[in-house]
Amino acid sequence: MRGRGGGSYGRGRGSRGYASSSAHHSQGPGRGGEGGGTGGRLRHPPHLKGREIGLWYAKEQARIREKEDKETRPKIELSPSKRAKITELLGSLERHSKASIPTGAAAINDSHVMRRYRQNVESNVNAAAIRAGLRPGDIVGLVRNSEWDESLKNDLERKQSSPKYQTMMRFREKLPAYQFKDEFLKLMRENQVIVISGEAGCGKTTQCCQLILDEMIQSGNGSLCNIVCTQPRRISAVTVAERVTEERDEQIGRNSVGYSIGLESRIPERDKGTILFCTTGVVFKYLIDDPKLTKYSHVVVDEIHDRDVLSDFLLMILKDLVNLRPDLKVILMSATLNADKLSNYFRHCPRFNIPGSTFPVTEYFMEDVLLQTSFTFETNKRPQQRRCRGKNPRKSEDQGKSEDQKFKRMLESHVRKLERDKTYPRHVLKELIKPEAEELNLDLITSLILHICETDRDNGAILIFVPGWDQISKLSTQLQSCCNFSGCSILIIPLHSKLPTVNQKEVFSRPPSGRRKIVIATNIAETSTIDDIVFVIDTGRIKITNFDLQRNLETRDTEWVSMANATQRKGRAGRVQPGICYHLYSKARENTFESFKKPEILRKRLEEVVLQIKTLNLGMTRPFLKRLLDPPPYKSLELAIQRLIQLHALDSDENLTPLGFHLSHLPMDLQTGKMILMAGIFECVDPILSIAASLSFKDPFYIPLGLGQEKNVDRARRELGDGSKSDHLTIVRAIEGYQRAQSQNRERDFCYRNFLSESTVNLLMNMKKQLAEHLHQMEYMSTATVDDVEHNVNSDNIGIVKAIICAGLYPNIATVNVRVRMDGSLGFAKIRTREDGKVYLHPKSVNCNENIFESRYLAYFQKMKTSFLSLYDTTMITPFPLIFFGGQLSFRKEKNLGVVSVDQNLEFLMDEDVFDLVQALRKHLDEFLEEKIANPGPTCWHELSKEGALMRAIIELITAEYKEMLGEGSASDSDSDDDIIA
């Protein structure tokens, strides 16, 4: 296959790979472009002025890009022998008996998958009704069991006599939540829904569930009590469960307490009288098989102020469910909560407030910090560049300037008042008015910590809130290298959502005697109770995910916190003694804070919500979402529906398809879920499950704290990638390498050399086993063994593994241009997506500094806007996976060339007769996949079967193309080595 205009496609392993013939166009942001094929820079006509110049350059760049795209379209060819074999295959497929394959609504009603789903739901509810002596169809919750009631009561009485339980009980009795237990329990008995608010440290999260359970057991109703308590974060669910288990003198998962966080769980062994702490997504998995949550008597939604998408969605379901189940109790809890709004939403349900933390917390603001530290800001010589958001950058910039001017006037007024009151000396006010006082300054944080160490000799622990990992790493390096700490021993612990759970738990441990613990954390610590924290340093910044409706793009922005965030952060101090919270922003800045951050459902993609609505059979999407506490924008909903249709999770009438049903059962992103289903069908389970586990949880690589360590980690990634040009295959090889090292008892050395978290790798391997169990239950695997030979026939075929990555991640496809400089050398790769135009590869990607691409297509999973719009992970793929697993194919004539496009986006050159053969093969593949999704079962590879012949043909074509791209064989070689119809 050869490209046009000087580029090449599949030149061979030793070649430079894909490159365009145009002059090099620098990748760096803000630099001028060079002409396409002119050999020099673009120059606008001299008569143009102002805005006209920008429009001219934009038009010229678009023209050059269009020309490049046409010149570099790969030519897809088939040798005469391959054409003959495909023609023979198609005739054979047509002669097979044609089973009726249902589509659209018929697929929903008639498929094996959907029939089994309905039967499961009906049997679950009806069985419970029959046990209670009711008619089938009546909705009931738990059914009383007198023997269980007595057993649970006796067990609790025995436990209460143990010394450890009594010691923990004395601690519990000191908590405000326990002291108000009578009022709380009375309110709960008399109402179906209640709202509980309480300051940090009052013990509501650990005590309320226990108070309910103990009262139910002691009153002889233990068999009627199963409590599920949702937490917004994985670490919260695990740590709260462990704490409650300790207070009850139990082993987690053995008696009454357990947790479930997606692919990791320790469920209580007994069926009744339990408390399960879980993430909100887990509850939705339960709702699929048990839409009325008949297994649970109480649903506790904790930290509701976070207002994440699934929590808002769950509130809507619970609002309806309490009408259907009078026996169900709902408790909504938060430390900082708009209680009136939530109470009104649940028909004016009662509210109950629990008093605050054990010790008072003193607050200081920037003006106080400057006074105490005598810190002075260095004046920036370069003006700050404003990052614009929205469709109209000029409008966004003007709005930002207006807000800055408004704040400047407010700050000046604030400073004049302080000056009149003579509250602070003049030099402090001079620093406060500087623009640099509004920036996040690590030197100021260091000075403040030194001040704390000098004034506090008790080594009270310090918690510092920063926006992200970059600040965690830089601040940690700065503190470790600070010579002024030589007389004070410090223990620095980072806390970030991407760290392994075992590392996150380190923040709860007490430091050795004589050392001061310093925790540097993101907002993940806002809901984490670290008992020994005395000082909190709040930078006032938070990273927020927003959804740009105009560009259909998620962005990651650093913003000022809300008052709710600030209150939560302050509450982390003062758990063991009076605490201090330093806010690194002025009182004037605090006056600009909004009360709460915008609910996540107004700033996130809605695909998962829409799919859950369809899976739970909750009716039409639009009317349902209008009933939410804060309904999302109409356009956001439309984009979600369109994407689900594109992924074939919904049909054109917005009905749930069998694929959509499968995806809703998998604890992962929709595209990743689709990927593992395809892996089950194409028998390459092991590597794809490694990729799916990592994309669903986290990257096994970690960046050690220290200057320049990022480069060492990037180098380790590239070495493991071994030229695969795939971040996803790099993960596969990291896990495979760990397993080989494990067999030789050198896994720790392997992890150390490659900057891998051993606990994360082990967790990913456990997640792979659970995913294999899912595939087994769905009948795509005959066993639940990840490395079973039968289900890994194609696992060593890199071309097929990459094709399955493409099948899952489509339509997330970017195109590559590598331009040739005037001296003949290759420049930087320029990456573009259809929706966004120019994008960048994230520095951690193995393809980031690559300029040799044998194919110009990259599949990616995560795209995020921070400073620049970046693709975080990519895999280079060839055209055939796009043609077989991409969107709609179309064909047109362009002069004497045939042009095939996928979704009117990606284009290839192809003769018309070749297109007819490929399109017919694609049609049979689509029908086969639809049937396989609707009626799961292991793939039949027998050469005489219809699906066996089809699958072998598809695999052979993709494999031959991939080998040819790498220069490992030609079309004629492939014909002689492998028969297309085995």
Mean local confidence (pLDDT), 644-652: 87
DSSP designation for 441: -
In this predicted model, what pLDDT tens digit does every residue of 479-503 receive, in sequence order? 888 767 655 688 889 888 766 666 6
Q: What is the mean pLDDT of the chain?
A: 82
Mean local confidence (pLDDT), 12-38: 38
Using pLDDT thresholds of 50, 70 and 90, give the confidence band for residue 388: very low
Q: What is the CATH number of domain 146-354?
A: 3.40.50.300
Contact (Cβ atoms closer than 8 angstroms) between residue 674 and residue 808 = yes
Mean local confidence (pLDDT), 364-387: 77
What pLDDT sits at residue 706?
62
What pLDDT sits at residue 887?
87
For residue 816, pLDDT beyond 50:
yes
Q: Compute CA distances 243 → 246, 250, 252, 603, 734, whole Å.
A: 5, 10, 9, 33, 34
Distance CA 26, CA 826 (A): 11
In this predicted model, what pLDDT tens digit does every residue of 156-206 receive, in sequence order? 999 888 999 999 999 899 888 999 999 999 999 999 999 998 877 788 899
Neighbours of 634 (CB within 10 A): 12
Mean local confidence (pLDDT), 647-675: 87
553 strand-pairing partners = 548
Least confident of 12-26, 365-379, 724-738: 12-26
In this predicted model, what pLDDT tens digit does every residue of 293-325 receive, in sequence order? 999 999 999 988 778 888 998 999 999 999 989
- % of the chain surpassing 70 pLDDT: 83
For residue 352, pLDDT beyond 70:
yes
Mean local confidence (pLDDT), 662-690: 92
Distance CA 70, CA 916 (A): 22
What pLDDT sits at residue 329?
96
More confident site: 390 or 641: 641
What pLDDT sits at residue 396?
47
For residue 1, pLDDT beyond 80:
no
What pLDDT sits at residue 369?
96
Read off the amino acid at residue 605. Answer: R
For residue 227, pLDDT beyond 90:
yes
What pLDDT sits at residue 383?
43
What pLDDT sits at residue 138?
58
Mean local confidence (pLDDT), 396-400: 50
What pLDDT sits at residue 326?
92
Q: What pTM did the predictor assign?
A: 0.74
In this predicted model, what pLDDT tens digit does every residue of 110-166 receive, in sequence order? 555 555 545 544 544 444 444 445 454 555 678 899 999 999 999 999 988 899 999
Dmax (CA) of the chain: 95
Phi first, then psi, for residue 283 (nearest 5°) are -60, -35
Mean local confidence (pLDDT), 736-741: 96
Distance CA 587, CA 603 (A): 28
What pLDDT sits at residue 837?
86
Contact (Cβ atoms closer than 8 angstroms) between residue 740 and residue 733 = no
For residue 370, what are the contacts with CB-CB under 8 A and spacing of at least 6?
424, 428, 431, 432, 437
DSSP designation for 41: B
Sequence-ordered strand ranges (E) for 653-695: none
For residue 12, pLDDT beyond 90:
no
Helix (H, G, I), strand (E, B), or coil: what is residue 329?
A: strand
For residue 108, pLDDT beyond 50:
no
What pLDDT sits at residue 805?
97
- % of the chain surpassing 90 pLDDT: 42
Using pLDDT thresholds of 50, 70 and 90, give the confidence band for residue 29: very low
More confident site: 66 or 91: 91
Q: What DSSP string runs through 232-259?
A: SSHHHHHHHHHHHHHHTT--TTTSSEEE
Q: How many residues appear in the chain?
A: 982
Residue-wise burial string across 680-695, b where 16 or more C-beta atoms lie within 10 A, e elsewhere: bbbbbbbbbbbbbbbb
Distance CA 768, CA 784 (A): 10
For residue 835, pLDDT beyond 80:
yes
Using pLDDT thresholds of 50, 70 and 90, give the confidence band for residue 41: low
What pLDDT sits at residue 590?
93
In this predicted model, what pLDDT tens digit does every residue of 779-804 receive, in sequence order? 999 999 999 999 999 999 999 999 99
> Helix H segments across 355-500?
366-373, 393-421, 426-432, 442-455, 469-480
Phi first, then psi, for residue 541 (nearest 5°) are -115, 150
Q: What is the phi-psi region of residue 904: left when phi exceeds 0, alpha when psi lies from -120 to 50, beta otherwise?
A: left
Most confident of 65-79, 214-228, 408-422, 866-880: 214-228
Q: How far is CA 905 from the centre of its chain?
A: 27
More confident site: 109 or 821: 821
What pLDDT sits at residue 198?
82
Using pLDDT thresholds of 50, 70 and 90, give the confidence band for residue 52: confident
For residue 524, pLDDT beyond 90:
no
Q: Is the dihedral of CA 490, 493, 494, 496 positive or negative?
A: negative
What pLDDT sits at residue 980?
40
What pLDDT sits at residue 518?
93
Between helix 234-247 and helix 163-172 the angle, nearest 10°, is 120
What pLDDT sits at residue 32?
36
Return the CATH class of domain 362-381+390-602: alpha beta
For the chain, what are the domain ranges? 105-138, 146-354, 362-381+390-602, 606-656
Using pLDDT thresholds of 50, 70 and 90, give the confidence band for residue 65: low
Contact (Cβ atoms closer than 8 angstroms) between residue 856 and residue 74 = yes
Q: Say what the alpha-carbon torsion angle 388, 391, 393, 396 is, to the nearest 10 degrees.
A: -70
Residue indicated by tokens 């793939």: 939
What pLDDT sits at residue 488?
67
Same fold, 146-354 and 362-381+390-602: yes
Instruction: List the strands of the sheet with 361-364, edge to edge.
Output: 361-364, 579-583, 533-538, 461-465, 516-521, 490-495
What pLDDT sits at residue 131?
45
What pLDDT sits at residue 22?
37
What pLDDT sits at residue 64?
62
Distance CA 463, CA 443 (A): 16
Mean local confidence (pLDDT), 441-452: 94
Radius of gyration of the chain (CA): 31
Q: What DSSP string runs through 493-559?
A: EEE-TTS-HHHHGGGGSPPPTT-EEEEEE-GGGGG---TTEEEEEE--EEEEEEEETTTTEEEEEEE
What pLDDT sits at residue 38?
39
For residue 106, pLDDT beyond 50:
no
Using pLDDT thresholds of 50, 70 and 90, give the confidence band for residue 28: very low
For residue 866, pLDDT beyond 90:
no
What pLDDT sits at residue 380?
65
